[in-house]
Copies of this chain bind each other. A is one copy, B any other.
Amino acid sequence: MSKEICLGKILSPVVRNITQDKINLYAEASGDFNPIHVDESFAARTALGGTVAHGMLVLSYISEIMSRAFGRDWSSGGKLSMRFKAPARPGDEVTVTGKVDSIEERDGVSYVTCSLSCCNQKGETVVAGEATVKMISER
């Protein structure tokens, strides 16, 4: 966990490759076997033109950047507000970036809000939004 969280701090980016294998594993973990995710020949005939990752697989990378920066404070009680903007596809390399946008004190507790976005290798935004962490751990 980063020891210092200050306003404007840039979180260490998370870069991940989307593969059909990861999408298939995610389908098994979640039970979501929608053919748009796992059936390449079906998906190729749809408007999307091929399989796409589950939105929540992409959100796992958003969670990862927060987890790396805030450790248990994130996993034990974070708040996430995200908008899905474009699909992520097998072969895509996505990069999650984040920045500390506000630090508020309420009743002696600090709440840190970060703006976050996940873009693909073409610079298209896949997911964007913000996350808030209640800072509990001693630093």
Binding site for B on A (CB under 8 A): 16, 22-23, 25-26, 28-32, 34, 36, 54-57, 59-61, 63-64, 67, 75-85, 87, 129
Are A25 and B29 interface neighbours, CB within 8 A? yes
> How many angstroms from the CA of A81 to the CA of B129 in the assembled complex?
9
When A64-B30, A82-B80 are in contact, do A56 and B56 touch as well, CB less than 8 Å?
A: yes
Question: Chain B nearest CB: distance from A79 CB in Å?
Answer: 5
When A34-B67, A67-B34 are in contact, do A55 and B29 touch as well, CB less than 8 Å?
A: no
Question: Chain B nearest CB: distance from A71 CB in Å?
Answer: 10
> How many angstroms from the CA of A76 to the CA of B78 in the assembled complex?
25
Are B67 and A56 interface neighbours, CB within 8 A? no
Question: Chain B nearest CB: distance from A58 CB in Å?
Answer: 10
Are B59 and A59 interface neighbours, CB within 8 A? yes
A63 to chain B: which residues have CB within 8 Å? 32, 54-56
Question: Chain B nearest CB: distance from A127 CB in Å?
Answer: 9
Are A30 and B83 interface neighbours, CB within 8 A? no
- Pick from B34, B78, B81: contact of A80, CB under 8 Å: B81
